């Protein structure tokens, strides 16, 4: 299992467009990918789950990746967050 934390820098937080892009990126991997904030954790491959977290600028999200391609998925998703959020 891989996990890491990331502080959101986007002024609008995780809104619909980047959430959709994130879901698309997460969907490329076979691993189970969860994203959480403040003790609530949701499936990172479901846009409504991500939107329900209400992530704003400055919030810390935790990603937990578990599965056969977890190393590649963790690296790619961390890079996605840095580039987009």
pLDDT in tens, the chain (85 residues): 999 999 999 999 999 999 999 999 999 999 999 999 999 999 999 999 999 999 999 999 999 999 999 999 999 999 999 999 9
**What is the structure's pLDDT at 3?**
96
The active-site residue out of 10, 15, 42, 84 is 15
Question: How many residues would you count in the chain?
Answer: 85
What does the alpha-carbon distance between residue 39 and residue 1 come to, in Å, rounded to a whole number? Answer: 18
Decide if 15 is catalytic: yes
What does the alpha-carbon distance between residue 63 and residue 31 come to, in Å, rounded to a whole number? Answer: 12
Q: Domain of 52: which CATH number?
A: 3.30.1340.10
Q: What is the DSSP letter of 14?
A: S
Beta carbons within 8 Å of 76's beta carbon, 6+ residues apart: 25, 28, 29
Give the chain's domain count. 1
Supply the range of the domain harboring residue 75: 2-84
């Amino acid at each position: 299992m891989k996990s890491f934390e990331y502080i959101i820098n986007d002024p609008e937080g995780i809104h619909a467009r980047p959430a959709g892009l994130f879901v698309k990126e997460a969907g490329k991997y076979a691993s189970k990918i969860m994203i959480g904030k403040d003790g609530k954790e949701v499936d990172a491959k479901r846009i409504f789950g991500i939107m329900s977290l209400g992530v704003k600028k400055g919030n810390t999200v935790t990603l937990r990746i578990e599965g056969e391609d977890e190393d590649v998925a963790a690296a790619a998703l961390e890079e996605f967050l840095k580039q987009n959020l």
